[in-house]
Structure 1
Amino acid sequence: MSDQIQRFMFDHTNVRGEIVTLAAAYHEVLDRHAYPPAVNELLGELLAAVALLTDTVKLDGTLSIEVRGKGVLSLLMAESNPGGELRAIARIGEEAALPNEYASFRELVGEGQIVITLDPREGNRYQGIVALDQDSLSGCLEAYFSQSEQLPTRLWLAANGERAGGLLLQRLPEASQNQDVDAWDRSVQLADTIKTDELLGLEQREVLYRLYHEETVRVFEPKALRFGCTCSRERMSYALHSLGKEELQDILREQGSIETQCHFCHTKYHYTAADIETLLDDPESPSPTIH
């Protein structure tokens, strides 16, 4: 099974859905870091969730989900862009005890909030914030949709360190009097029967058939997904420039040069003293030195 997301609709209803499966992109994220198993699984759920939300809101831009917790995990972040590229990272508190492989969502993140950022190519940036007051990532994201989008939305997320997957159902505003008024409740009840090994181990059409073989489901062409990082020398240069002239010069006096690294993909960017001088003079023209 390839990494992909697939949209589907129930005919003569106001219910739509998305189903996503990730393997290679998920491995690309995990191979760059050494997280405990419980964190790997939660990171997989977040990758599936960011793919589902990006396709659901039909955003022509970047969507990110940040889980900012006060528990063992201080930050969990995933990002998706219009090209179907995904990236993610986790940050474990320096003094925190590493979680065991059975640690729950609540044990990992504690109290805190989820920040969902929609950054379109054109138009204004939007942020929605929801509290971490549910016992699962899917529950917190459902609360976000209830508060911000005001559309009934349900999510089922799963990951096992090898594969990640997710299913989303959403009820749209009523469109006609001839629609099946019981379709939403029925589709949710059927989705509640899905097992983790089905969501992670079966082809997407097979999952939909097992759940909804008595329904009329219209399945659209899948969209390919992959790992991809949006870091660049330009973005790194802007970040360095924001530190200010004095701090940059202090680092140069101590180290002779500056090397920074993308936390997502581990690409390294090297800056000589001459590079920094050029950057301070003109942050719009970053030099080409890169490792």
Structure 2
Amino acid sequence: MTDQIQRFLFDDTNVRGEIVGLESAYKEVLDKQSHPEPVARLLGELLAAVALLTETVKLDGTLSIEVRGQGALSLLMAESNPGGELRAIARLAEDQALPAHETDFRQLVGEGQIVITLDPREGNRYQGIVALDADTLGGCLEAYFERSEQLPTRLWLAADGQRAGGLLLQQLPDDGRQSCDADAWNRCVKLADTLSDGELLSLEQRELLFRLYHEETARVFDPKSLRFGCTCSRERIARALLGLGAEELRDILDEQKAIDTHCHFCHTHYHFSAAEIESLIDTPDAPTPTIH
């Protein structure tokens, strides 16, 4: 399996789709974090989902999916951009232990919500929020499309700690063409429902689509490469520190004489001396010095 996503559509229908497979990018995310198998699996599903949604909504900017729960798994977050860069993190609640025998999405996350943020390079930032009403991550994201995009959408997600994959089907509005196959949506969804996790994770994408839809007239477009990539920078970390406020920053300096922090996604270390923090407080709009 290579790290890539492919778009496809069925001729003479209003059905389109995306299929994604991840291996190296998924491995890099897991290498930077240490999580039990159920959490690693959900991280893979979320990585596949954020790649699918980024391509589907055609966003020229950053898309993030944040799962906030009240269970033992308190946070899952993944982010993608049009350049094919993906990153993700998971956080466990400090006051709860993971259930010994539970690997179900809802059991791990508990009550909560999913926040989907679309941050275009130009234009206004948009956030959509849906409750965790479904038993699976894919089911919750389907509810987002139903409420926000008002387009029938189905997702199939799988991950096993080594590979992650996903399939998305979407029914577009009827354009009124006489030749449009009215039953295509139900037919394509029923065929996708026969897909096993093993097939989604192990088969080459064109082979998988052929197995499912060899009786359909499908057009499969060139694949787009995906990879792990972090958007952290010294400037972004500095802006985050400024968000703590001058008083708290100076309290930290009184205790530690400097501030050391790291990116939660890629673990890059950032050091800010007392003089640099004071400069940030005094001139917050000035460029942040780069340390070589």
After TM superposition, list the pairs within 5 Å mapping 1:144-159 onto structure 2: 144-159=144-159
Equivalent position of 1:77 in the other structure: 77
SS in 1 for 2:255: helix
Question: Deviation above 3 Å: which 4+ runs of structure 1?
Answer: 99-102
Equivalent position of 1:135 in the other structure: 135
Question: AA paired with 1:124?
Answer: N
TM (normalized to structure 1)? 0.98
Question: AA paired with 2:42?
Answer: L
Equivalent position of 1:60 in the other structure: 60
| Cα-to-partner distance string for 1:180-205 (whole Å, 9 max, x where unaligned) | 11100000000000011110001000
Deviation (angstroms), 1:102: 4.6
Equivalent position of 2:234 in the other structure: 233
SS in 2 for 1:269: strand
Could you tell me which runs of 5 or more consecutive residues in structure 1 were left unpaired when the two chains were aligned.
none
Could you tell me which runs of 5 or more consecutive residues in structure 2 were left unpaired when the two chains were aligned.
none
> Does 153-162 or 93-102 show the bigger shift?
93-102
After TM superposition, list the pairs within 5 Å mapping 1:184-223 onto structure 2: 184-223=185-224
Equivalent position of 2:3 in the other structure: 3
TM (normalized to structure 2)? 0.97
Quick one: distance in 2 between partners of 1:82 and 1:194? Answer: 28
Quick one: distance in 2 between partners of 1:114 and 1:242? Answer: 24
Quick one: distance in 2 between partners of 1:9 and 1:73? Answer: 36
Deviation (angstroms), 1:100: 3.9
Deviation (angstroms), 1:241: 1.2
Equivalent position of 2:32 in the other structure: 32
Quick one: distance in 2 between partners of 1:283 and 1:227? Answer: 31
Do the aligned residues in 1 keep the contact of 2:102 with 2:108 (CA within 8 Å)?
no
Quick one: distance in 2 between partners of 1:99 and 1:196? Answer: 23
Quick one: distance in 1 between partners of 2:99 and 2:66? Answer: 20
Quick one: distance in 1 between partners of 2:101 and 2:220? Answer: 36
Deviation (angstroms), 1:270: 0.2
Do the aligned residues in 2 keep the contact of 1:73 with 1:108 (CA within 8 Å)?
yes
SS in 1 for 2:185: helix
Sequence identity (%) = 72
Deviation (angstroms), 1:283: 2.1
Deviation (angstroms), 1:106: 1.0
Equivalent position of 1:124 in the other structure: 124
Equivalent position of 1:252 in the other structure: 253
The number of residue pairs the alignment matches comes to 290
SS in 1 for 2:265: coil
Quick one: distance in 2 between partners of 1:18 and 1:101? Answer: 33
Quick one: distance in 1 between partners of 2:141 and 2:206? Answer: 25
Quick one: distance in 2 between partners of 1:71 and 1:84? Answer: 31
Quick one: distance in 2 between partners of 1:213 and 1:36? Answer: 38
Equivalent position of 2:288 in the other structure: 286
After TM superposition, list the pairs within 5 Å mapping 1:92-107 onto structure 2: 92-100=92-100, 102-107=102-107
Do the aligned residues in 1 keep the contact of 2:98 with 2:108 (CA within 8 Å)?
no
Deviation (angstroms), 1:101: 6.4
Equivalent position of 1:44 in the other structure: 44
Quick one: distance in 2 between partners of 1:98 and 1:143? Answer: 26
| Cα-to-partner distance string for 1:125-169 (whole Å, 9 max, x where unaligned) | 000010001100010000110011000000000000000000000
